[in-house]
Structure 1
Amino acid sequence: MSGDDNTDRLGILALLADMTDAWGRADADAYGAVFTEDATYTSYLGTHYRGRADIVASHRALFAGVLKGTRLADEVLDIRHCGPDVAVVTSRGDTYKGSPKPAPAKVQTYTVVRRDGRWRIAAFQNTKRRKLMERITFWFTPAARPTGQR
């Protein structure tokens, strides 16, 4: 790694804090700035966006419409480095109005890259968590439960 683990972790966490802050201000340009120019973005609906300009334009419309007044919760579960300037971040998160939800309903995966000394999101995937289906699966197939939850 070009930096130490703690410095890299703090840089990645700062990136995600910038993202949630921009969302809370409904600032599509600042939100888009945390992504690389050629980023890919897959929403929990399955919509696939390619490039920062597409991410900005879609979020400008969303912040003025169905996501107006929302905030973004993001709780990092894991940061795994794949090289000196690449990491995969897994988090649980959600959008909310008022107080954050006690149990975020989505799981996000970010591929983050360091370019010119700054971390940026190169790829994003958002998945709606199906807690009931997850519990049923673990009931019938206990070995399918992630090791950290056994």
Structure 2
Amino acid sequence: MTSDDTWSDADRAVRAVLDSIYAAWADNDADAFVAPYAENATAVLPGAYLPGRKAIKDTMATLFAGELKGSSARHEVQDVRFVGADAAVVISKGAVLLADQSTPDPANRALETWVLARQDGDWRVQAFHNCPEQAAVAHEEA
């Protein structure tokens, strides 16, 4: 999908969740960052497994106060795929910009997988995984 006009309401709502997470990152606000995460959400990052919203929040608060202070992140949704009416898998490309950077270092670029589910009318992140973009090899269809 290439245009907001072609996205469904559910597609727009899922994308808005990711937009809110990245806006919270730009503010270095760990509470806002995890607000759309489910209580039992998981995050898998290179070298880290974060079980639950509290672990994700605590980790991001530490990072925002330390090595990611003043940083922001970019994301570009590649695909939104619905698995039934109340679950979505999102593939995106992300990049971290440290406080002194105007363009991301290639080492800070990632491929991301998000799993979201609708709970009580709201879309919530259930799981997040990323890997360095350089480490991922795309499968070419024959």
Instruction: Establish whether TM, by shorter chain, passes 0.5.
Output: yes
Q: Distance in 2 between matches of 1:80 and 1:146?
A: 19
Assess, with a 3 A threshold, how the Cα gap between structure 1 residues 52 and 9 changes in structure 2: closer, same or farther.
Answer: same
What do the CA deviations read for 1:6-26 (whole angstroms, capped 9, x no partner)? 101100111011000001101
Give the structure-1-normalised TM-score.
Answer: 0.81
1:1-150 aligned at under 5 Å gives the runs 6-43=8-45, 45-97=46-98, 98-101=101-104, 105-130=109-134, 134=137, 145-147=139-141
Q: Structure 1 residue 99: deviation in Å?
A: 2.8
Q: Distance in 1 between matches of 2:28 and 2:117?
A: 24
May I ask how many residue pairs the two structures share in their alignment? 133
User: Is the 1:72–1:96 Cα contact (8 Å) retained in structure 2?
Assistant: yes
- Name the aligned partner's letter for residue 33 of structure 1: A
What do the CA deviations read for 1:35-82 (whole angstroms, capped 9, x no partner)? 100000011x23000111111111100000111111011100001111
Q: Distance in 1 between matches of 2:105 and 2:14?
A: 24
Q: Percent identity?
A: 34
Name the Cα RMSD after superposition: 2.1
Q: Structure 1 residue 105: deviation in Å?
A: 1.9
What do the CA deviations read for 1:101-144 (whole angstroms, capped 9, x no partner)? 3977210000001111111110000100226x84xxxxxxxxx7
Gaps of 5+ in 2: 1-6
Q: Secondary structure at the match of 1:130?
A: helix
Partner of 1:140: none
Q: Structure 1 residue 87: deviation in Å?
A: 0.6
Bigger fraction of residues in helix: 1
User: Is the 2:97–2:105 Cα contact (8 Å) retained in structure 1?
Assistant: no
